[in-house]
Amino acid sequence: MTNEIAIRAEGLSKRYKLGVAGSAHDSLRDVIVSGARALIGGRSRAAKSDRSEFYALKEASFEIARGENVGIIGANGAGKSTLLKILSRITEPTAGYARIAGRVGALLEVGTGFHQELTGRENVFLYGAILGMGQREIAAKFDRIVDFAEVERFIDTPVKRYSSGMYVRLAFAVAAHLRPDILLLDEVLAVGDAAFQRKCMTLAHELQRQNATILFVSHNMFNIKSMCDRVICLEAGRIVYDGATDRGIEIYERGAHLSAVPWAKEDPTKWPITFTDIETCNEQGEPQTVFDFGARMIVRLSYQSREPIPSPRVMIAFMRSDNVASTVWANEPDGIELGLLEGEGVVEMRTPPLKLIAEKYTLHVLVRAEGSHDVLCAQVGRTFHIRHPLLDVDYGAFHEPAEWRVVARERAVTPPFQIKSVRESA
């Protein structure tokens, strides 16, 4: 990495008027949609809400050096996508400016720049041209793009018949093979499968080695941690942190944990019990977020109950970064009676030796009433990491060492099974 500045932003702000049909700073697509809504809903409705406005981004200033990988993190609606749209010139800021030095490749939405009726082949040339590549450059890179996207069989099929995964693979392949000086990525990797995500991460690291600058928006803190030495954390459109990745993730997760799970239909303010803190601890009871394969964990749940909860059924799920429930512990099948929960208190659960593969996990905690499926509480807890030098997602969700032997045909008696723990072999 050099000291050369690739991106300089000064006071970037983006203001939207709620309910108003159209704005001088909207993208073309936004103008078309807003115009249609105005025709359908009439002008009186738009005029009614003319005074209501909000800032999706407010006075954002920063510098990014050439060759930096920077994660843009924050809750939904924090302004992450708005920032990247301004930097990619899709939309203009209401105030402030950004100076960008170098060729920019951006993948902000699945299939941005694709035409539904055109084939994959035709869209590669169309999208490549939109990104600034010439016809000869696209033709020279075409085979590599198709191989990377793994869509060779469907390359002459209209993209309207593509799955979302095929869409994003092809779009990412075109943007990445532009070999940009600056690459802007907005959560697009979440659409691909795990194998494709790893391929994209490998390519991103390759671009970084070539001194490319990458801005990466993601809710996947495992990917952010593995790719970025620096993060910019946004909250309500403002930069609340700009610095080292570990500290930024800590700030982000502190604000993100203990929220209601995304699928919760109940109003959290009406729950009879909620968790006020969730900690992951080692066997000595000390807070910890990184655990070695085979270690035990204590999950400490601090609760506050508005009413007595007799014999609750508590479930703690370990959700992998790709949203797979890798394991779930619950007091009911374990034959443990928790008695009466009322007022304030703490519930602790100690796991057996953790045999989960090396990954990032998030705790989801759910409470059901005794003898019922009624949900009394469902919250997202903290994240933690399992560490192992070998066992990653290629090895499934968990690993227990098996017994192995070689059976030679000419032998009448075979040797006994041999077993060696994974921890010993590591």
Give DSSP secondary structure letters for 271-340.
-SEEEEEEEEE-TTS-B-SEEETT---EEEEEEEEEEEEES-EEEEEEEETTS-EEEEEETTTTT----E
Cα 212 to chain centroid, rounded: 22
Closest CA to 188 of 70, 123, 109: 109
219 vs 223: CA distance, rounded Å: 9
Residue 118 φ then ψ, to 5°: -85, 155
* Whole-structure pTM value: 0.57
In the prediction, which pLDDT does 259 show? 74
In the prediction, which pLDDT does 35 show? 52
409 vs 426: CA distance, rounded Å: 32
In the prediction, which pLDDT does 32 show? 46
Residues 6+ apart with CB under 8 A from 38: 21, 22, 46
In the prediction, which pLDDT does 12 show? 94
7 vs 383: CA distance, rounded Å: 31
Q: Which domains does the chain carry? A: 5-252 (3.40.50.300), 268-395 (2.70.50.60)
Per-residue pLDDT of the chain (426 residues; tens, 9 = 90+): 557 899 999 999 999 876 554 444 455 445 544 554 454 454 444 444 445 677 889 999 999 999 899 999 987 678 888 999 899 888 899 999 999 998 887 777 655 668 888 999 999 998 888 777 888 999 999 999 999 888 999 999 998 888 877 887 888 888 778 778 888 887 765 555 667 777 777 777 788 788 889 898 887 777 788 788 899 999 888 999 999 998 888 788 766 667 777 677 777 778 999 998 899 999 999 999 889 999 999 999 999 999 999 999 999 999 987 778 899 999 999 999 999 999 999 999 999 999 999 888 989 999 999 888 888 999 888 888 898 888 887 788 888 889 998 887 766 555 666 666 555 544
In the prediction, which pLDDT does 34 show? 52
